[in-house]
Amino acid sequence: MSHLILVRHGQSQWNLENRFTGWVDVELAPKGKLEACKAGELIKKLSISFSHFYSSYQTRSIDTLKLILNTMRIKSDNIIRAWELNERHYGALTGLNKDEMKKKYGEDQIYTFRRSWNNPPDPLKRDSPYHPLNIDIYKNIPIKKIPDTESLKNTYDRVVPYYKKNIKKKMNENIIVSAHGNSIRSLCKYLFNINNDEISKLEIPTGNPLLIKFKDDIVTSANYLDKERAKDLIKFD
């Protein structure tokens, strides 16, 4: 039996402000830091030894994992950071308020942009300060790999190959991945074989560890550790 924990970063400052964030590198809000520490306490109670730790390139993901590991009394100097685990790029919506965009485009269109499988927003202009090309942490990523916008499918197409190549082969041990709402949705789509329509219904709560158990490379169970903040997921008997 092996264990994989997926945890969406704690509430970020732009989550708090209800803004589309994507690849912009924002910090955790105070509530997000508390969520990360609580996540660490919940994981610690499992009394499971974890060997590998992954995060995206983004500060909110990295700091969430550092707070988790600090709470578990584990050194955080062996975190593997992968841009492939980044949040989905929200294109021209980046930085804008979600409620204001609902008024402008209508709730159905914004829901489509946020939840659908293959409907990316308009591209973000490359001279925008919010474009990854203009954010220092992405300077070592090949330009051709940096998106102007993404659908969930685009996100899946970078997250899942990375998982297969780098994480799946280590699944004989226990692993924690700190990532984002859409990168975790992508992994869940793959791990639970969720179809393109049903994936729109999957919501990932901030700072709530999702414990997935495997036996012989097959998922046997999945549940959130904080029951009070759990969201609907695949049901296992």
Q: Which residue has the tokens 């969720």?
A: 194
Max CA separation in the chain (angstroms): 51
Residues serving a catalytic function are: 9, 87
- Whether residue 2 contacts residue 214, with contact meaning beta carbons closer than 8 Å, is answered with yes
Q: Give the 3-state secondary structure percentages of the chain, helix then strand then coil, rounded to 5.
A: 45, 15, 40
Contacts of residue 10, Cβ cutoff 8 Å, sequence gap at least 6: 28, 29, 31, 32, 33, 34, 35, 36, 39, 60, 64, 67, 206, 207
Dihedral angle computed from the Cα positions of residues 12, 16, 22 and 25, in that order, rounded to the nearest 10 degrees: -40
